[in-house]
Structure 1
Amino acid sequence: MPADSRSSAMSFRRVLRLLRDLEVTVACRVPLEPLLWAACARLWPEAATLPERGGPLRGIVSFGEPLSDAKRTRIESLWTGATVYQSFGVSECGSNLGGQCSSGRLHLWADRYLPEVYDPSTGTLATEGTGQLVITTLYRQAMPLLRYLVGDLVELRYDACDCDWRLPTLQVLGRPEALLNTGVKALSSLDLEQAVYSLPEHLGVLSWRTVSGSGSLRLDIECEPRDAREAESELRKLVRHQLGVTIETRAVAPGTLVSLESLTEQEQFAKPRYVFREDEDLSGGVLYPRPTSPVTYKPL
């Protein structure tokens, strides 16, 4: 059943109502949305009747953006009884290009697509390693693609997997334009997401963003004001321990990054953004309306 939050008829409240009334068992979403469902359920007067804890939901298929292990764990802890499965697809290549095995790793269907990685600094292609994903379709007849540059930054490997699938594994790291240079090392959105969702669950952090400036980088998270100091301190420690860098952290009140209106009334028009420049209008939080003109993002 289609329940896309990017349509004018499907707010998060309505998605929750469908989950409850239809006793949905499997949902296919970008991984941020189950977190936003939980945030909406906390605000809605009918939240006690919604399936935030337990219920028939047993599977959430994730696609459309990178998924860190910490984010997967946080979603599964919020939606008790549901397991998160990762999928990967590109519309131009015929949608689904890979899926998760029994060992929890993402594999590409290399029997139907030929994957390569592109290094823009050298202009070379490789069969494995880290770089921008390039796909050649092997069986598409109506729209075959030869070395199509998908653009996602990935790590492609052919090492053995416990599941015994003889297919390459893929780790999606994010978009190249979202890489952030801290002066010590470049960070991907997946790196920062792992740190954010490693925060203790009692802090209730569901939304985050980074704001980059001239030689500066700040990581914003939403949490209750009473927990702000603890959350900022813990996040700085996690970033330093996991990523080996020191950056500024800031805790903001709920509704700053994801507006209360967008959770309960308004539809979401675009995929979520996590990386911003300090000279941008930040009042829209994470869920911006659909842009009227193309927007380009440059690394710090």
Structure 2
Amino acid sequence: MDLKKYKVFLASVDLGSFTKASIQLDYTPSGITHMMNALEDELGFQILTRGKNGVQLTENGARLVPILRELLRLEEDFSQTVSEINGLNAGTIRIGSYSSIAVHWLPGIIKSFQCDYPNINIKLMEGIRQEVVAWLDERKIDLGLMSYNPEMKFDWIPLKDDPMLAVLPLDHPLAKEKAYPIKNCESEDFIMPACGYDYDVVELFHNEKISPKIRYETFENYAALSMIECGLGMSVMNELITKGRICNVAKLPLQPRRHISLGIAVPNTEKLSPAAKKFITYCEKAF
């Protein structure tokens, strides 16, 4: 079984291009084209369509993707188990994370881990909740650092609770108060982060039975903070998002107080690679 071809196939799918896959895997585009043609000949059916805009999966190719991801995960697990027996000297950990966690938590944890295991490669992907969940479902990542959802189908390892805050312009009438009533979001110009897909904010309003007066939507939280600084409205964010941002805004705890649980989601803790299990212990140790 030639796993090399399967790795090239998945890289081409993920990147949408033989050229991009060749750069990532250090092959020539013609070499990758030859490998994919050979793989299709072996399989007896087409798995990719080629065009000016890159490559796309065929229906049959799409059926193979989750199986091949699991196959390569098992191959990596085998390699890392052998490595663990020899002192964990090789392997790769694929991590998906919220940007705020990637900025404030992961650098220190990765540095500590790499000091002890310098030969373990770490690949980090940043995204919003929906992206991290999709990466976990597709097995593109081994673990996801995100917020807890009681309905999630993943195993959960809690790390830290993070308070939810109201973020206001400095000249806001409540800017110097000790807390901000959540109910006020119904009458304020509200700036919705993540273009309305911030699970934690949406879930907060759902639980409190509040319909915020949404005036603006942004994808990037830093843009929302800048808009608040200019007096365009207010928003609600978890505290970690607001850290390290140079903005003249007021940050107040909510009334009633609310927080989210941040931690690690994994498809199955029993099937984690040795390197991923070890990395999780470093995350837990950090808190």
Interval of TM-score (by shorter of Structure 1 and Structure 2)? under 0.3
TM-score by length of 2: 0.27
TM-score, normalised by the number of residues in structure 1: 0.26
Indicate the structure whose relative CO is greater, using CA pairs within 8 Å and at least 6 residues apart: 2
- Between Structure 1 and Structure 2, the one with more helix by share is 2
